[in-house]
């Protein structure tokens, strides 16, 4: 089937179902078939949490997962991809070469944890969603007869989201070059195709003192520590009067700026449509656009390639970055919701592959949001 065609399937239990919808069913079946391996992958990452840029065991677990994915050697895996704990796994149908240029879809995995409380942001589930969605798309493209479309499925392992900004390092290294659309999903307390996030920008303030003898003539000194403590305390009090979308945090030296995620309405509408078919109950569009989430280096990705970063419920009302959420992220109950989200992402990716008009709208949304952002920055 060529992109854009909606040929019905004749005969059998699937009679009258378009070939695209049948491929979506095959994607979901492929994810279900791999559910045990995917759950084991998630548990292996969850059980031994590692901090930013130190995710060596998670890196090994994920690269082996794709290296061992049957049939043997079906995925081309590059460990230590630009960063010690990043990786790239790539699959394309037989015969897909450089001409015509294949559509390249990226699925992102995160896997760093938080100090002291482990996977309290559920990055083990993010890794699982990315891997599962990629398997689903691969399974769908392999499932039906006829020449496959020119597509490459690429999984990027992106370390250090919690501290440092691994995706920004990978952007600077060229890892996102030539990708057409990227997909990932983040655990939360609700299902939302998009939530406005909070961009983080570093402001460096230095305090300089003047030494003097503390006993003999302390009045000659200038206390830099007192100035820093007073600044912290006053900012802490000021936060009570800040608007809901404003944030002030302690910033560690050397961190990248995190940009806001650029929304892509065409992409998240397709995701919602597919998610509803799977029984996902989304918050309203009004609640979605007036809500907020934390900062993420995925925002920087959306300035170089169109992408979607939905949020998904995992069976718990616990809040992210708490011990209770760590427990929820490692629970068996979270597996149902995680794999359901992966299916919705895979189905949306298939829409992108087989609906050229959707891909065109996604690209137009991307360009428009970039122009709006450029205008706002000029005004500010």
Residue 359 lies in a domain: yes
Nearest to 9 by CA among 111, 145, 118: 145
245 and 338 part of one domain? no
237 and 294 part of one domain? no
Nearest to 114 by CA among 39, 54, 65: 54
Among the ranges given (2-6, 32-36, 317-321), the one the predictor scored with the smallest mean pLDDT: 2-6
Residue 158 CB contacts under 8 Å (≥ 6 apart), including other chains: 86, 108, 109, 110, 166, 167, 170, 297
Stated pTM of the model: 0.86
* Residue 355: how many other CB atoms lie within 10 Å: 18
- Nearest-5° Cα angle at 352, 354 to 93: 65
Q: Tell me the two tokens of residue 70.
A: 């049957």
What confidence tens digit (pLDDT) does each residue in 47-101 have? 999 999 999 999 999 999 999 998 877 999 999 999 999 999 999 988 776 668 9
Residue 88 lies in a domain: yes
189 and 235 part of one domain? no
Q: What is the dihedral of CA 341, 343, 345, 349, to 10 degrees?
A: 180
168 and 218 part of one domain? no
101 and 43 part of one domain? yes
Q: Cα–Cα distance between 24 and 28 in angstroms, integer? A: 6
Phi and psi at 36, nearest 5°, equal: -65, -45
Burial class (CB in 10 A: 0-12, 13-18, 19+), 226: exposed
192 and 209 part of one domain? no
Residue 12 lies in a domain: no
pLDDT exceeds 80 at position 3: no
Residue 331 lies in a domain: yes
Phi and psi at 348, nearest 5°, equal: -65, -40
Residue 332 CB contacts under 8 Å (≥ 6 apart), including other chains: 39
What confidence tens digit (pLDDT) does each residue in 274-299 have? 999 999 999 998 888 887 777 899 99
On whether the CB atoms of residues 179 and 154 are closer than 8 A, the answer is: yes
191 and 208 part of one domain? no
Q: Which of 232, 250, 268 is the last residue of a domain?
A: 250
139 and 264 part of one domain? yes
On whether the CB atoms of residues 349 and 137 are closer than 8 A, the answer is: yes
320 and 213 part of one domain? no
Residue 296 lies in a domain: yes
Residue 57 lies in a domain: yes
Q: Cα–Cα distance between 114 and 161 in angstroms, integer? A: 10
Nearest to 346 by CA among 276, 281, 271, 277: 271
- Could you tell me the residue range of the domain that residue 321 belongs to? 19-200+257-378
94 and 167 part of one domain? yes
Q: How many domains does the chain have?
A: 2
98 and 24 part of one domain? yes
- CATH number of the domain bearing residue 276: 3.40.630.10
Mean pLDDT of 334-346: 98
Q: Cα–Cα distance between 203 and 208 in angstroms, integer? A: 16
On whether the CB atoms of residues 354 and 4 are closer than 8 A, the answer is: yes
Residue given tokens 């020449």 in the structure block: 147
Residue 299 lies in a domain: yes
- At 253, the pLDDT band (50, 70, 90 cuts) reads very low
292 and 361 part of one domain? yes
Q: Tell me the two tokens of residue 89.
A: 């796994």
On whether the CB atoms of residues 105 and 352 are closer than 8 A, the answer is: yes
Residue 1 lies in a domain: no
Residue 252 is predicted with a pLDDT of 47
Q: What is the dihedral of CA 122, 123, 125, 127, to 10 degrees?
A: 180
Give the chain's radius of gyration (CA, Å). Answer: 23
């Amino acid at each position: 089937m060529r992109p854009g065609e909606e040929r019905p399937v004749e005969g059998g239990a699937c009679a009258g179902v378009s070939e695209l919808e049948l491929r979506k069913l095959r994607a979901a079946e492929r994810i279900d078939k791999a559910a045990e391996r995917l759950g084991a992958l998630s548990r292996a990452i969850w059980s031994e949490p590692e901090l930013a840029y130190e995710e060596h065991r998670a890196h090994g677990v994920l690269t082996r997962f794709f290296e061992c994915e049957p049939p043997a050697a079906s995925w081309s895996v590059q460990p230590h991809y630009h960063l010690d704990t990043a990786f790239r796994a790539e699959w394309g149908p037989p015969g897909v070469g450089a001409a015509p240029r294949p559509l390249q879809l990226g699925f992102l995995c995160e896997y760093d944890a938080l100090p002291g409380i482990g996977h309290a942001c559920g990055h083990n589930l993010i890794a699982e969603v990315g891997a599962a969605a990629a398997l689903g798309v691969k399974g769908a493209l392999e499932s039906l007869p006829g020449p496959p479309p020119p597509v490459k499925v690429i999984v990027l392992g992106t370390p250090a989201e919690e501290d440092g900004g691994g995706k920004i390092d990978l952007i600077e290294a060229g890892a996102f070059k030539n990708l057409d659309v990227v997909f990932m999903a983040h655990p939360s307390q609700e299902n939302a195709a998009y939530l406005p996030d909070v961009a983080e920008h570093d402001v460096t303030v230095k305090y300089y003192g003047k030494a003097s003898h503390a006993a003999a003539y302390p009045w000659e000194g200038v206390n830099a520590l007192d100035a820093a403590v007073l600044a912290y305390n006053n900012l802490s009090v000021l936060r009570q009067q800040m608007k809901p979308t404003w944030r002030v945090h302690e910033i560690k030296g050397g961190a990248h700026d995190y940009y806001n995620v650029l929304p892509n309405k065409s992409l998240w509408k397709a995701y919602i449509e597919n998610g509803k078919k799977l029984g996902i109950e989304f918050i309203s569009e009004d609640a979605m656009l007036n809500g907020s989430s934390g900062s993420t280096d995925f925002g920087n990705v959306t300035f170089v390639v169109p992408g979607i970063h939905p949020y998904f419920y995992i069976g718990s009302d616990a809040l992210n970055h708490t011990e209770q959420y760590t427990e929820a992220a490692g629970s068996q109950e979270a597996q149902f919701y995680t794999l359901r989200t992966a299916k919705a992402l895979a189905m949306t990716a298939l829409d992108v592959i087989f609906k050229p008009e959707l891909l065109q709208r996604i690209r137009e949304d991307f360009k428009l949001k970039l122009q709006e952002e450029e205008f706002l920055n000029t005004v500010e």
